[in-house]
Amino acid sequence: MILSTSLLQIGGFDISSVLDLGIMGFSLLLLGLSILAFKNTGLKKILYAAGAFGLFAVSLFLEYAEESIKLLGDFDMDILGSAITLGILVLFFVAIVKRR
């Protein structure tokens, strides 16, 4: 089923933009909770997961800024987005395999 573009907008906001902002807020919440967990437990591997959540929020912000307000101008986001995604994967991998 294909929705028309008028159904994908709520009060002048595009649903995908609203979802991006919600996911960005959730990743910032997870970043804060990870930092709080690190302070309570002292496990350094939690910092790697916190870094991944932070990078995810940065990635979504840059994507939102590019689509909504053309913040970066002519800059090619493909390379930066791929580099950030690689960084997120590496940080999650290190958080999983690191002993302490």
Determine contact, residues 65/71, Cβ cutoff 8 Å: yes
Q: What is the pLDDT of residue 63?
A: 85
Task: Catalogue the E-assigned strands of the chain.
Answer: 9-10, 13-14
Which two tokens mark 87?
């960084």
Determine contact, residues 82/100, Cβ cutoff 8 Å: no
Q: What is the pLDDT of residue 4?
A: 52
What is the value of pTM for the model shown? 0.78
- Spell out the per-residue pLDDT of the chain, length 100, in tens: 455 555 455 566 678 888 888 999 999 999 999 999 999 999 999 999 999 999 999 999 888 888 777 766 667 778 888 999 999 999 999 999 987 6
Phi, psi of 39 (to 5 degrees): -65, -35
Domain boundaries, the chain: 9-97
